[in-house]
Structure 1
Amino acid sequence: QGFLVNWTKGFKASGCEGKDVVMLLREAIQRRNEFELDVVAVVNDTVGTMMTCAYEDPKCEIGLIVGGTGSNCCYMEDLRNIEQVEGDEGRMCINMEWGAFGDDGSLDDIRTEYDLEVDAGSLNPGQQIFEKMISGLYLGELVRLILVKMTTQALLFNGKATPELLTRGHFQTQNPRVCRRSKEGVLKARELLSDHFSLRPSEEDCAALQQICAIVSTRSAYLVAAALGAVVSRLRLNKAVKKLQTTVGVDGTVYKTHPQ
C-alpha cells in the first residue's frame, strides 16, 4: 500500500490525494487488460539510489537526490531510535523527505526576498521550503528574480527590462548550467540574454549573469552539504565513534550535469 498525502512541485491530478496509489495503479492496469503487471514495492528514489550504491559499496548508508524537480535524502537509522517500530535490534532506512525542511519556519532566518517570491508563485506555497532553495526547478527563477531587481536598480542592462525578463519561469532550469565561468561561458551568457530575453547585454552584464548563476548554485550546494553533514553526524553518534567513514549514493540531474 502507498497512500498519497498531497502533491508537491509540478504535479496535480484529481482523485489521488488520500488514496492508495498502488491500488489505483493496479486498477488502471486491469482496465487496460493488455499485460500482466503487479506492484511489488513502493520505493522512494533516494532509497533506490542508496540500494544501488550499496550493492557495490557496503559502506553506503545514505542516499541523496539533487535533481531537476526536487531534493531528498535517506539514511540507515538504528531501530532503537524509531518509536513506531517494535524492537531495538537492527536498522531501517528512513526516507527523510528533507525537501519539506523549513515548512515550520525553521529556515526563515536565511530565506531571502527571492526565496519568498519563488515560494509565493509556486503551486504549493508554504511547502517544500528547503527544496525550493536548492533544486533545479527553482534555480532559474531565483536567478531571474535577481536579474530583475538589479535591472530596476539600473545595475544591469542600462535599467531596461524586457517582457521576457519580467515573465515568471522564463529563465529555465538548465540555463544556469550554461553560464560557465570561462570564455565559453561568456559567449553562452551573451547568447542567452540576447536570444532568450531580447536584451543587448554588455560585457559587464554577461559577467554579472555568470556571477549570479554561480552564487545561486553555490548556495544550493552549501545548503545540501550542511544538511548532509547533519545526517553524517547522526550516523556517527549512533555508532558512538569519533570518526566515521561512510559512502553517499548520489543521483539527480543537477548533481550530474551542473558544470561546477
Structure 2
Amino acid sequence: MVVNMEWGNFWSSHLPRTPYDLSLDDETQNRNDQGFEKMISGMYLGEIARLVLHRMAQESDVFGDAAVYTPFLAAIREDDSTDLSEVRRILQEHLKIPDAPLKTRRLIVKVCDIVTRRAARLAAAGIAGILKKLGRDGSGAAMSGGGGRGTRGQPRRTAVAIEGGLYQGYPVFREYLDEAMLEILGEEVARSVTLRVTEDGSGVGAALLAAVHSSNRQQQGAKSSFFLPPRLFRFSVEQELEQPVPEGEA
C-alpha cells in the first residue's frame, strides 16, 4: 500500500498560528491554503523571521528605519563566532543595515532560532502523528493491519525519507527535529525511527515503493505499508527494516 500524505494543507485549531503566520498567508497567492506548509517549509521560514523583525523595527528603534528582509535565516542562526561577524556581513551586504550593534545581532539570531525550532517541532509532531496512526509511536494503538512491535516485543523500525534543502542544508533544523522526536516518542521508540535524505521526487519514490511492494507480495506473500508525505517529508516503512531493534542499539 502506498499513501501520499499531502500534509502541506493540514489544518487544526491546535496549531500555534501567530499573527505573523496570518500576515504571511495574506501575502501569498494561495491564501487560506497550505497552512501547515507555510509554518514548516524552508520556502517560508525566512519570511516569518522577517515579519517578526519588521514588527520589532516598527515598535522600537532597534533597527532604525530599516525593514529586515532575510532569506538568510540558516546562515544567521548558524553563525557561532563570538562577534557574530557573519550576521553583520549579511546585514550589511544583503539587507543594507550598516553598523548593527552586537546586541541587535544577537536578537536577530534569537528570532531565527525561535522560528527554526518551531518549524522543526511542528514537523516532528506531524511525523509522530503518522507513527501513531501506524501504531508505531509506542502507544499500542495501531491501524488495521499494522503493529508497532516485532515478534520479540521490540519496536519495529520505520524509515522516514526526507527531501528538500531545509533538512539537507540546515544542521540546526535537523538537530531540533531529532530533539523533538526524542521528546515526543521517548528513547526506545525514537531510536527505531530512521530519518533518511532522499533526492528523488515523491512520484518516483511512490512508484518504486509500489513496485517493491508488489514484488514482495508475489515472492513472500508479505504485507507492508509505505507512507509518502509530500516534498519535505516522505515516509517509507521499508521491508528490510521490519526486524526489531536489537537490544542496546542506539
TM-score when normalising by structure 1: 0.56
Q: 1:185 touches 1:210 (CA, 8 Å); kept in 2?
A: no
Matches within 5 A, 1:64-143: 92-102=1-11, 106-107=12-13, 110-143=16-49
Return the offset for 1:109. 5.3
The answer to whether the aligner puts 1:197 opposite 2:106 as a matched pair is no
2:161 is matched with which residue? 249
- For residues 156-209 of structure 1, the C-alpha deviation after alignment (integer angstroms, 9 at most, x for no partner) is 22xx122xx26xxx422xx01101151078111111112222223110111111
In 1, the alpha carbon distance for the partners of 2:104 and 2:122 equals 27
How far has the Cα of 1:150 moved from its partner? 1.2
Match of 2:62?
Answer: 156
SS where residue 183 of structure 1 aligns?
A: coil
Provide the C-alpha distance between the structure 2 equivalents of 1:107 and 1:211, rounded to a whole number of angstroms.
Answer: 27
Counterpart of 2:86, as a letter, is: K
Determine the structure 2 residue equivalent to 1:229.
128
RMSD of the alignment, in Å?
1.9
**Any idea what SS the aligned residue of 2:34 has?**
coil
Q: Is the alpha carbon distance of 1:149 and 1:249 closer, same or farther for their aligned partners in structure 2, counting shifts above 3 Å?
A: same
Q: Distance in 2 between matches of 1:241 and 1:220?
A: 27
Residue 182 of structure 1 aligns to a residue in which SS? coil
Q: Give the letter for the 1:178 counterpart.
A: A
Count residues with an aligned counterpart. 157
Query: 2-side partners of 1:117 and 1:181: how far apart?
Result: 28
Output the CA distance in 2 between the equivalents of 1:107 and 1:161: 36
Question: Aligned partners of 2:83, 2:38: CA distance in 1, in Å?
Answer: 25
Does structure 1 conserve the Cα–Cα contact (< 8 Å) formed by 2:79 and 2:87?
no
Q: What does residue 11 of structure 1 align with?
A: none
Alignment of 1:34-73 (within 5 A): none
Structure 1 gaps of 5+ residues are: 1-91
Cα distance, 1:148–1:201 mapped onto 2, change above 3 Å: same
Q: Is 1:258–2:164 an aligned residue pair?
A: no
